Structure 1
Amino acid sequence: MLRIAIAAALLAATPALAQPGPPPGDQARLFLSPSGEPFRGQDGLADWFAGADADKNGALTLAEFRDDAMRFFKVLDADGDGQVDGPENSAYETKIAPEITRMDLGPGGPPGKRPLVRRTDKREPRVGAARFSLINEAQPVRGADADLNQRVSSEEWAKAARRRFEILDTDQDGKLTLDALRPRLAR
């Protein structure tokens, strides 16, 4: 009982973690684009795809995918200096997509109140942003920091967009379709 009280006190001391997440079942209403942009609604994947598909032909090319990523980079780069730094990343985690920092207690609530479930698959559990995205990447802004200097340059962001496109383009035909992406959310 003491351990639970200590854990509760620690969570309360961390504002981003202390905030309650959406009710069970509502988490599906959040979708994070491959760059981490949140879309909240009935079909966030379709909303993101429609906005990224600049020529409205039902397929995303690398150029469209990268352009969409760079558009969101400009949102993250609040001071316009060509880098997303620590304070801008903190704004992403606390204001733009705070759900990525919340603990996922799974179905049934906290430990002791939910049934034990044995994992039958060998895949890594999805944490952070990966719970709401097409790619298993816990924090998409930090994930783009290739040189690990705690800042993401526009060049690093563009390279991350290419890498993410290549991950999603499983048949390597140079395009992404909504129907091909949809099954990735079910993982």
Structure 2
Amino acid sequence: MKLRKIITLTEDIHTEGGRPVDPIARTAVVLAVIENPWAGQGYVTDLLPGIDEIAPQLGELLAPRVVEALGAPVEAYGKAAIVGLDGEIEHGSALIHTLKFGDHFRKAANATTLLPAVEKRAVAGGAFDIPLKHITDATIRSHHQSIEVRVPDGPRADEIVIGLAAASQGRPQARLAPLASEQ
């Protein structure tokens, strides 16, 4: 894996809807900007060798960092793969849609649900939203949220931005009825 940089972001929401948020709602994001191992090769039929090599390294690198940055138990989580213009969306998907990547975060967060994801192709500096859902029950509406992020100088055409996001709670001031109330 050819890593260019790691970015760590946190957001603390103190007030929402004109009311204090107690406890403060924290979200953390960790992004790795890596060289796309398949860029410039044309259509690559077998992505597995790259997946086997890079996905576990990324999971091992990012999962503990995002949990540490959050500084609280993880209640919601998500992932992202943003591919530069010389790559395919499938290149990013290959790295994040494997247990070799996601299980690192599941274990670090004591989670059991699938990680929601965003995958897209974008120019450097393109904004993207990482979706988050509850770590053990994806039907808990209060934890359906997203965080917008961007890397000002990435992904370059031959790069992929891989990210993990975690939240310490659901949306600030969440008040939707549980899904069960409609079933």
Whether TM exceeds 0.5 here: the answer is no
The structure whose residues are more often helix, as a share, is 1
The structure whose residues are more often strand, as a share, is 2
Q: Which has the higher contact order (CA 8 A, sep 6+)?
A: 2
